[in-house]
Structure 1
Amino acid sequence: MVETYSTTEKIGKLKELFRSLKDEGDHKKALYLRKEFKEFLGQCDALTIARAEQELAKEGFTLQDFRSGCDVHLEMMRESLGQQGTAIPAGHPLTRFQQEHEAIICWINELLEAVRDAQTYSVFGDAKDALKRVEVLTSKLGETENHNIRQENALFPLLERHGISEPPRVMWGEHREMKEMKTKLHQAFETIDASNYLEVLSKMEETALLLEEYFASHTKKEQTILYPIAMRMFSPDEWKEFSDACEELGYFSLEA
């Protein structure tokens, strides 16, 4: 028989589990906690999880504390909240963000392919076409910062207006880290020449792999946590405010 909890009790239980996951160093106990957390998340919606995170933040939980359990949290989101989906009607302002998610992950994958292709040439001059593709895709990923800027200036303020502050804070921190990765890719490419191109491409591949993993994780949290909360809480007037802010900030092209 599944025990039932009130919303307040769910928040308290989630906070207890978050603390335990952060502090547990024993591997076997951690596996048990993962199982318990996974089972309990099946009883919680995205808003309840966000409220628990917000209360923990007020109690001193740091960004690193939340990130320490990020992988566990994401795994459970895929199997619980992820199954619920985000019912976004055609033409809704969030549809564009989902389209951008698909484009960005595609470009990261294409960059990895181009970097690996360029590494197959033993002569720098022969890698010209592959390197040009690397340059184009690196530049394109730089343009996608516009995606994060719109989230930070159009979506996050509305969530915070409704008292949802911790998820945007975590996402904002991840935006900064991904921006650093994109900058690192651009700066690395700028140093390429005939004497170092294989070494530089190897480092770019490593960074692109990290960005791919990071962005996939980040996107999953947006689509299973942030967007469901926004769909549930925002009024029609707030969606109009959101759309107007996005239009003012502009969009990057989805064409590669």
Structure 2
Amino acid sequence: MTELLDAKRMRQEILKGIILDLHAGKDLEELKARFAKLIQNVSASEIAEMEDRLIAEGMPPEEVKRMCDVHVAVFKEALEQQESPDSLPGHPVHTFRLENRAIEKVVQSLKELLDQLAAAGKPDLAGYSQALQSQLSLLAEIDKHYLRKENQLFPVLEKRGIYGPPKVMWQVHDDIRTMLKATTRAVDEGNAQAVIDHGNKLLTAVSDMIYKEENILFPMSLETLSESDWGKVRIGEEEIGYTLVSPGNRWQPPAAREDEPVAEPGVTPGAIKLNTGELSPDQVNLMLTHLPIDITFVDEHGQVRYYSQGMHRIFPRSPGIIGRKVQDCHPVDSVHVVNRIVEEFKTGSKDQAEFWLEVDGRFVHIRYFAVRDTQGNYRGVVEVTQDVTDIRALQGQKRLLDW
């Protein structure tokens, strides 16, 4: 163990020396050769770790960042000779990097606009607003890039025991979202100086995040995750969407292997496998009974199969209705309406019906939804009843952090 630590410290000193020589303007080819020798038996994760340690020791991040160019130059020839999976269009990392190149173009365009605005003796948005709004609208697409990291990549990393980088990056994503809103608001309000101030902070944060992705997150992820893991990242990406690019399809997700040693949560005996996850019958029951709505499900044969037993039901229900025809659960004078709703759901001419009324001074919203399977076949009706009195009275905003 001591020998391993000593070797790490030695590599750290070598890297520090290379960066200092790079700063001093020494021959780039000689530095590339030294760096190539250093990383022969060193992972990208350790390189990132060494760089972080140098920053922690006081070396300016800008100096460490310059090392990235040498890093890329050393690996360029090998990458051209050998096609790794992440170099194939369609691989999640390839798509993330492709998006980063598109984002960098938008950042550059915005930077030029902000520099022109700042160069004016008295900053004025006249003549700049439309261009700024256009570029900020493009930059807002970055949210899809971040959402795919948060919802597709981070969960798979966490299953491999990696929690730190995802948590930190997610916080920075939110900071960038806030900066983007502030910059856009400043443009809308015509506040030129605020546009310059907020805009420059935003562009710096976006560029820094790209650097962290390219030099820490992606190399670490490629070393840690299996092809099957990357398949899990890839599946579902299209539901979120992409930022300013369309991914290729040369790389295809491999079939997930059941024997892969991924730290999956333990499967609950008797669990019900759903489209997105699995729950035990007890969990399903608890979830449905704790929703602030009343639910009743009628199958394709018109029989009541289920109703939720919430704490505050709006309309009374009892076990006696289970198996009963839905028409028999309504007053005679409204059965013809029930029949019409069901018939239109069956034929596909309607998918939803809604009604609202006052009950004991409360405003109640009732909705019926047609239930269809993946082939479009009619499978029943879900009735959702909700007391929306308090919801109708809401004003302004209350965010999660206001709780």
Q: 1:55-87, CA deviations, whole angstroms, 9 ceiling, x for partnerless residues?
A: x9xxxxxxxx79997545434444447743675
The residue number in structure 1 matching 2:197 is 206
Tell me the SS of whatever aligns to 2:236.
helix
Query: Could you give the per-residue CA deviations for residues 90-140 of structure 1, whole angstroms, max 9, x where no partner exists?
Result: 222222211211111211221233345567598979x34x31111111222
Alignment correspondent of 2:151: 153
Say whether 1:142 aligns with 2:140: yes
User: What's 1:22 paired with?
Assistant: none
CA contact (8 A) 1:74 1:217 kept: no
Which stretch has the larger CA shift, 86-95 or 232-241? 86-95
CA separation in 2, counterparts of 1:161 and 1:12?
A: 30
Q: Paired residue for 2:219, among 208, 228, 235?
A: 228
Counterpart of 2:250 in structure 1 is none
1:131 matched to 2:129? The reply is yes
The alpha-carbon distance between structure 1 residues 207 and 254, as it changes in their structure 2 partners (threshold 3 A), is farther
Quote the residue 2:162 is aligned against.
164
* Residues 92, 230 of structure 2: 8 Å contact kept: yes
More strand by share: 2
Give the structure 2 partner of residue 195 of structure 1: none
Q: Is the 8 A contact 2:106 2:139 kept in 1?
A: yes
Distance 1:177 1:185, change over 3 A: same
Which residue pairs with 1:94 in the alignment?
Answer: 93
CA distance in 1, matches of 2:58, 2:98: 26
Query: Is the counterpart of residue 104 in structure 1 residue 95 in structure 2?
Result: no
Structure 1 unpaired stretches of 5+: 18-30, 57-64, 193-199
Give the SS at the match of 1:163.
coil
**After superposition, where does 1:32-111 map in structure 2 within 5 Å?**
35=20, 42-43=38-39, 44-48=42-46, 70-71=61-62, 73-80=64-71, 83-84=74-75, 88-91=86-89, 92-111=91-110
- Structure 2, gaps ≥5 residues long: 22-30, 247-403
Output the amino acid matched with 2:107: I
TM-score with structure 2 setting the length:
0.44
Equivalent residue number for residue 171 of structure 2: 173
Root mean square deviation, CA, Å: 4.2
Instruction: Tell whether the 8 Å contact from 1:53 to 1:167 is kept in structure 2 after alignment.
Output: no
Counterpart residue type for residue 112 of structure 1: K
Q: 1:53: Cα distance to partner?
A: 10
Corresponding residue of 1:237:
228
Q: 1:50 to 1:8 in 2, by over 3 A?
A: farther
| Cα distance in 2 for residues equivalent to 1:174 and 1:66 | 23
One-letter code of the match for 1:139?
Answer: S
| 3-state DSSP of counterpart to 1:251 | coil
TM-score, normalised relative to structure 1:
0.65
- Offset, 1:157: 2.0
Contact 2:176 2:202 in 1 (8 A): yes
**Contact 2:140–2:180 (8 Å) recurs in 1:** yes
Equivalenced residue count is 220
Whether contact under 8 Å (2:45, 2:220) holds in the other structure is: yes
Which structure has more relative contact order (CA 8 Å, sep 6+)? It is 1
Query: Which one has the bigger helix percentage?
Result: 1
Q: Secondary structure at the match of 2:131?
A: helix
> Identical aligned pairs, as a percentage?
23
Contact 1:167 1:226 in 2 (8 A): yes
Answer yes or no: is the 8 Å Cα contact 1:158–1:238 preserved in 2. Answer: yes
